[in-house]
Amino acid sequence: MKVLGLSGSHRHGNTEQMVKAALDVLKEKGFEVEYVSLADLDIKYCTDCGACKNAFTCSQKDDVMALLARMREADAIIAGSPTYFAGVSGRLKSFFDRTLPLRRQGMMLKDKVGAALAVGGSRNGGQELVVSQIHSWMLLHEMMVVGDRKTAHFGGICVGRSLGDALKDEVGMETVKNTALKVAEALGRLG
């Protein structure tokens, strides 16, 4: 079974390290994993042109449709974002909007397992709101959302501002790893 990890940061920073740490746990458990940083992709806005109402296509010419095809092949998706003004990054939100073809053409993410990771510079800087925003996107795709386990949070949440800070947040990284273990547990039940 395959798990796709997405980082919604504009840079190769804390979110990336958290998503990769979660994927490492899943790889150790025997899952196939793939990492994608949205920072490396050209992502234009959804303009509500309606093209995806009739076919699995998009009028925007960029990197998004290729990524949507990869998402279709995953059994689980872990999406991470930095906290930006108590919400997901604009890059991740733009990408979420562009996933409309997946929903319109047969609810293609339905029943895939989904989990969320968030990092913010402040301890209570809105990371839970970010996780909730990611969960909402997953629920609109009829995915099966999981949180973490044992640490009893909503997903993986770290505090960090400078590059590498998240990895130093031991409590936060435990929630990241437990989120990955919860994804593994859910996939185990499905498989």
Which distant-in-sequence residues (6+ apart) come within 8 Å of 167 by Cβ?
Answer: 14, 17, 21, 160, 173
Q: Which is nearer to ligand FMN, 47 or 122 (CB)?
A: 122
Whole-angstrom Cα distance, residue 115 to residue 189? 16
Q: Which is nearer to ligand FMN, 88 or 186 (CB)?
A: 88
Q: Which is nearer to ligand FMN, 72 or 161 (CB)?
A: 161
Beta partners for residue 117, in sequence order: 80, 156
Find the angle CA(163)-CA(165)-CA(166) to the nearest 5 degrees: 110
- Residue 14 C-beta: closest distance to ligand FMN, Å: 4
**Among 172, 183, 120, which residue's Cα sits nearest to residue 147?**
183
- Please state at what angle helix 170-190 crosses helix 14-28, rounded to 10 degrees: 40
Q: Which is nearer to ligand FMN, 108 or 166 (CB)?
A: 166
- Residue 73 C-beta: closest distance to ligand FMN, Å: 25
- Residue 169 C-beta: closest distance to ligand FMN, Å: 10
- Residue 95 C-beta: closest distance to ligand FMN, Å: 15
Q: Which is nearer to ligand FMN, 13 or 101 (CB)?
A: 13
Site of interaction with ligand FMN (CB under 6 A): 9, 11, 13-15, 82-86, 119-122, 125-126, 160-161
**Shortest-Cβ-distance residue relative to ligand FMN:** 125
- Residue 135 C-beta: closest distance to ligand FMN, Å: 18
